[in-house]
């Protein structure tokens, strides 16, 4: 006789991600990886809040989402500015009244590759971009997630936050982001607020750095792919977006405090 527990464990469940009408903020979402995350969430029924520094790119992104039947709003801000982070949060609350999901995607490389030539200003700008903007926005959304006993926070890091690579400021700030995410996950676990990090490898998308290099130096990029990318190609932004969407869903209810490489085997690290 099959026990009740076995019946529960083995019953067939449709892969409904449970995201309909959830409200998601995605930073740096006017293009690239952030837009891919917003699109995947929106196609699963989430209501998404976009932000970016370029107003025209933001309008184009919103139009794309609306044309696909996605509920989305957007605001032009600079995530490195504390007052703009508050504007984003207030805008979201005015638009949708709550925040269920936060995708901290903004990031980038700043400064010289040589330690001796790095200025305090370059260190500060890199940390503002890759770490402090995330901390400030997360601090704003956490209280209501705790009150509702549900939330998802996903930080987009980099494989170079786990192993050597990229510029010194980038690697350092992304490693700090990973540590922040891990510690936060332990504090929020009792409130069913799940916190994880996703580490992309080399992903090409229109307007991105890798796509520019592919266009300008196809032979050099062919060699790079051969030597560094086991799958023989760059990643696609939707591949990361779909994984982030899953982590944000009801189906990822046992996953917190974890870091995932989405890199097609590019990373050389064991852990």
DSSP 200-260: E-SEE-TTSHHHHHHHH-HHHHHHHHHHH-TTSS-EEHHHHHHHHHHHTSGGGTT--S-EE
Which residues fall within 8 angstroms of residue 190, CB to CB, at 6 or more apart?
A: none
Q: Is 103 left (phi over 0), alpha (psi -120 to 50) or beta?
A: beta
Nearest CA among 254, 229, 259, 233 for reference residue 244: 259
Structure tokens at 115: 């330690």
User: Sign of the C-alpha dihedral, residues 234, 236, 241, 243?
Assistant: negative
CB count in 10 Å sphere of residue 119: 10
Q: At what angle do helices 168-188 and 133-148 cross, to 10 degrees?
A: 10
Structure tokens at 253: 């209810």
Structure tokens at 254: 């046992």
Q: Helices (H) and strands (E) in the chain — how many of each?
A: 10, 9
Q: Write out the catalytic residue numbers.
A: 170
């Amino acid at each position: 006789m099959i026990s009740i527990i076995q019946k529960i464990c083995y019953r067939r469940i449709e892969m409904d991600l449970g995201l309909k009408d959830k409200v998601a903020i995605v930073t740096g979402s006017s293009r690239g990886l952030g837009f891919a995350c917003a699109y995947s969430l929106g196609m699963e029924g989430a209501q998404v809040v976009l932000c970016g520094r370029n107003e025209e790119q933001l309008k184009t992104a919103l139009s794309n989402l609306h044309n696909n039947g996605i509920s989305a709003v957007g605001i032009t801000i600079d995530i490195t500015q504390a007052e703009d982070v508050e504007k984003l949060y207030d805008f979201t609350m005015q638009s949708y009244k709550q925040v269920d999901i936060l995708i901290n995607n903004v990031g980038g490389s700043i400064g010289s590759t040589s330690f001796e030539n790095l200025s305090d200003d370059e260190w500060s700008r890199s940390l503002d971009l890759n770490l402090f903007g995330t901390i400030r926005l997360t601090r704003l959304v956490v209280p209501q997630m705790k009150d509702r006993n549900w939330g998802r926070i996903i930080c987009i890091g980099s494989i170079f936050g786990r192993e050597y690579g990229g510029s010194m400021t980038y690697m350092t700030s992304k490693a700090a982001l990973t540590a922040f995410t891990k510690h936060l996950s332990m504090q929020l676990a009792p409130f069913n607020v799940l916190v994880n990090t996703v580490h992309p490898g080399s992903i090409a998308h229109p307007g991105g750095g890798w796509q520019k290099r592919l266009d300008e130096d196809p032979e050099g990029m062919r060699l790079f792919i051969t030597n560094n990318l086991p799958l023989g190609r760059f990643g696609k932004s939707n591949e990361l977006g779909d994984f982030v969407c899953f982590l944000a869903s009801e189906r990822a209810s046992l996953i917190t405090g974890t870091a995932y490489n989405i890199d097609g085997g590019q990373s050389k690290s064991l852990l």
